[in-house]
Chain A
Amino acid sequence: MTQVNYKAPTTTKEASRLMAKAKGSAFLLAGGTDLLVRMKSGLIDPDLIVDIKRIPATQSIKKNDGKYVIGAGVPCVALGKNKGLVKAWPGVVEAANLIGSDQIQGRCTMVGNLCNASPAADSVPALVAARAKAVIVGPKGRRTIPVEKVVTGPGTTSLKKGEVIESIKLPERGARSADAYLRFIPRTEMDIAVCSAGVNLTLGAKGIIKQARVALGAVAPTVILVPAAARALVGKQLDDAVLAKVAAACEIACAPIDDKRGTVEFRTEVAGVLARRAATIAYQRAGGKL
């Protein structure tokens, strides 16, 4: 193992500068629950680690003009303790709070979950369904991009050298809106999603769905958005016929792998079931009656 140079800058700009000028292998450190595991198992051998947790902007959950801004270093356990956030985005919070044990919750972050770029990352389908954006600081300044534009494939992201995600931004939340996230694992916790679904809904008068986003995890190289499932929801009250269309649209969108966790057929079918159930939960949370 090479000597690791550890840096803990206090601004995102400085973190970006350190990463941009780094020679050799350099990694940002949020909660470390992926990074340290990869170091330990010898998959990576960093020359430089840049810890973002001393940067104040990464440490807070703020609400500006109704929009939540969640710092990249905020551990997932803190999301569940923020009552306003839980009320506005129950699906995002329940997804983030599914990650690992209490020990892992105390460290793991949504940005780390996103940038580790696993197709099975639990918080990502919920963030994509929520229209979350990533605020990025890089050598060329700041840019803000939709979360679904960050991951490009298993283990790869669109971030350029020197780019650091500073925070995750959630859009303003109107009335009668809610989200939900469900995953399938063979046990009750401490496992990786076989497949998962995040659904985000806004209702209008008489429980008619005005806006919908449906995202699936672990059924493709990246988390996928399923516009056809959203189209099946918009303009309708939720009932069995609509839910059947949602499930069918999700099944068509699935392109999973076969592995020890699940076959292609199993993942495809269960993804449809989870989307249907998550849509039902989100609908009820938003005040819709079944």
Chain B
Amino acid sequence: MSGVHVSTTVNGDAVEFVCPGGESLLDVLRNRLGLTGAKEGCGTGDCGACSVTLDGQLVCSCLVLGAEVEGREVNTVEGMAEGNRLHPLQRQFLDNAALQCGICTPGFLVAAKALLDENPNPTETEIRYALAGNLCRCTGYDKIVRAVDAAAKDLRREAKRKARQKSK
């Protein structure tokens, strides 16, 4: 196969792959790297189920070519938990029953993390706008919004605790 050879970083690990020039990052992640967290809902940028970050920027991996990520940093839902410790967003999605079939969940988690990384204290409206690129056909969104709000509180509490420990 006359493909493109790509060296990149995925969830902090150096990885290499060869892919056809027209293959999407989503297909690379799922079919070449075995990272099946990102889902294909539409393949055209409308549903957000394929959300990942590229150099820290939230993107639809279905609209990025695998070949484009040479030397970049990709983060997926698989990189959110630390070992067995779930990320506060993941915990709050479970506690708030913010998922039913779950196909949209990895995308929502990645998009919500991108929001909270930039804005630790979003209003409900800000949460809804930030997640407008993610579709869910099951939950009706309310529980997702509540889970993100609760996780934001957890993260703020955690940050305060860490700051206090540091000053001691």
Contact = CB atoms under 8 A, between A and B. Distances in A.
A4 B63 contact: no
Contacts of A104: 45, 60, 63, 133
A53 B64 CA distance: 12
A37 interface: yes
Contacts of B24: 36
A40 B2 contact: no
Contact of A33 (B21, B45, B57, B58): B45
Given A100-B45, A103-B59, A29 B65 contact: yes
B4 A6 contact: yes
Interface string B67-86: 11010000000000000000
A77 B115 CA distance: 13
B30 to A, nearest CB: 15
B133 A102 contact: yes
B58 A102 contact: yes
A41 B48 CA distance: 17
A46 B45 CA distance: 19
B145 to A, nearest CB: 15
A5 B21 contact: yes
Interface in B126-142: 129-130, 132-134
Nearest to A38: B44
Interface in B105-145: 111, 114-115, 129-130, 132-134
B92 interface: no
A189 interface: yes
B65 A36 contact: yes
A29 B46 CA distance: 19
A215 B60 CA distance: 31
Instruction: Give the interface centre of B24, B62, B129, B133 by most chain A CB atoms within 10 Å.
Output: B133
A71 B2 CA distance: 31
Contact of A37 (B45, B70, B111): B45
Contact of B67 (A6, A101, A103): A6
Contacts of B4: 6
Contacts of B70: 8
Contacts of A51: 65, 67-68
A36 B65 CA distance: 8
Contact of B63 (A6, A107, A190): A107
Nearest to A190: B132
Contact of A49 (B21, B114, B130, B132): B21
Interface of B: 2, 4, 20-22, 24, 43-46, 48, 51, 54, 57-60, 62-65, 67-68, 70, 111, 114-115, 129-130, 132-134
Enumerate the 3 nearest inter-chain pairs by beta-carbon distance, A residue then B residue, closest first: A101-B133, A6-B21, A4-B22
